[in-house]
Structure 1
Amino acid sequence: MQLDFKEIFTAFMILFAVIDIVGNIPIVIDLRKKVGHIQSEKASIIAGVIMIIFLFVGQNILSLIGVGVNSFAVAGAFILFFIALEMILGITLYKEDDNSAMTASVFPLAFPLIAGPGSLTTLLSLRAEFRIENIIVAVLVNVLIIYIVLKTSSKIEKLIGQNGISIIRKVFGVILLAIAVKLFAHNIKALFDQVV
């Protein structure tokens, strides 16, 4: 087992930007108002379990349908690119609204808000570049931060304010855009090398 702080930190930052839990605070607060209470522990643990399971079986699912990790990583780069555009430009390209009072902690909070298509695709893209134990540590650190943010979401909103949240979203959007370009360039090169 080789833990690499640089890999853990990079994987953590990528996941943190994709999950965008700080940017999702207004959605979390809105959910809390609608359903009265959100089980922060339950939402964080379920999201973490979904991400770690997908990290291990995602590749097998891909080989079943005959898709390589590099191809998936290129597709992931496109998703990251569009998520970054949403964050920077403040537009919504895709949003699914479903709020059930009984299951708000699991759906839509744990899935697809935290462990959604973006973060799951990112995990497999990361797997193409980083060691699996470093990615797991990055996921666990993110789950811990998600739990803290969910638990203190109303305080954070009061502290940072709408403008603060908006600035954070845009900054992480730019970081994510750069990561998407790097991911695309690295994996498209690997794909061309396979063809040649």
Structure 2
Amino acid sequence: MGAFDFQELLSAFIVLFAVIDIFGAIPIILDQKQKGRTVNAIRATLIAFALLLGFFFAGDMMLRLFQVDIASFAVAGAFVIFLMSLEMILDIEIFKNIGPIKEATLVPLVFPLLAGAGSFTTLLSLRAEYASVNIILALVLNMICVFLVLKLTDRIERLLGKGGIYVIRKFFGIILLAISVRLFTANLTSLIEQFYALK
């Protein structure tokens, strides 16, 4: 599990907060409510947490099954995070949700908004740099934030306004862009060193 480190916890929290982007999801949540689709905050939070935690522990085993190391996955994850940041900064849609399930709590809220490809990729990418205990604690804190935002969606929108939510989304988009570059360069260096060590 590794040793507790507040700096690692804070960094992991910010990364996951930016990827999950619960504030950016507020307009989507409100749109679902306007369409008469109920959103269960407790259920959505618990299911998302279970999925993310399960992938955090089982994802490494899945990678070994496909003979993929964590550095390679982190580089691939950097590309996914990079594309997500472009969505947030440029207001474009790259990842389309065209699944058949229409129930709002599970789709689109839990998957892909809370526990989607970006979150899964980020969790395993973080394992290449941080101790597991710090990532898990950061995930728990993020799930608390998710629950509070889901419970107070209407109030938060009134408080921040559509402009405020828009600015927050852009801000975290830039953070994600920087994170993707750092993940890519750090783990690409590791892969290059492994390549030359094999020669």
What is the TM-score with the length of structure 2 in the denominator? 0.94
Residue 11 of structure 1, CA deviation: 0.4
> 1:110-189 alignment to 2 at 5 Å?
110-189=110-189
Report the equivalent of 1:41: 42
Report the equivalent of 1:74: 75
Report the equivalent of 1:23: 24
CA contact (8 A) 1:9 1:138 kept: yes
| Counterpart secondary structure, 1:92 | coil
Q: Distance in 2 between matches of 1:65 and 1:158?
A: 47
Structure 1 runs of 4+ off > 6 angstroms? none
Q: Give ranges in structure 1 of 5+ residues lacking alignment.
A: none
Residue 100 of structure 1, CA deviation: 5.0
1:82-134, CA deviations, whole angstroms, 9 ceiling, x for partnerless residues?
11111111111122145856x32122211211000000000000011110010
Q: Give ranges in structure 2 of 5+ residues lacking alignment.
A: none
| Counterpart secondary structure, 2:93 | coil
Report the equivalent of 2:87: 86
What is the TM-score with the length of structure 1 in the denominator? 0.95
1:160-192, CA deviations, whole angstroms, 9 ceiling, x for partnerless residues?
111111110111111111111000000000000
CA contact (8 A) 1:99 1:108 kept: no
Q: Please report the RMSD computed on the Cα atoms of aligned residues, expressed in angstroms.
A: 1.3
Q: Distance in 1 between matches of 2:53 and 2:120?
A: 9
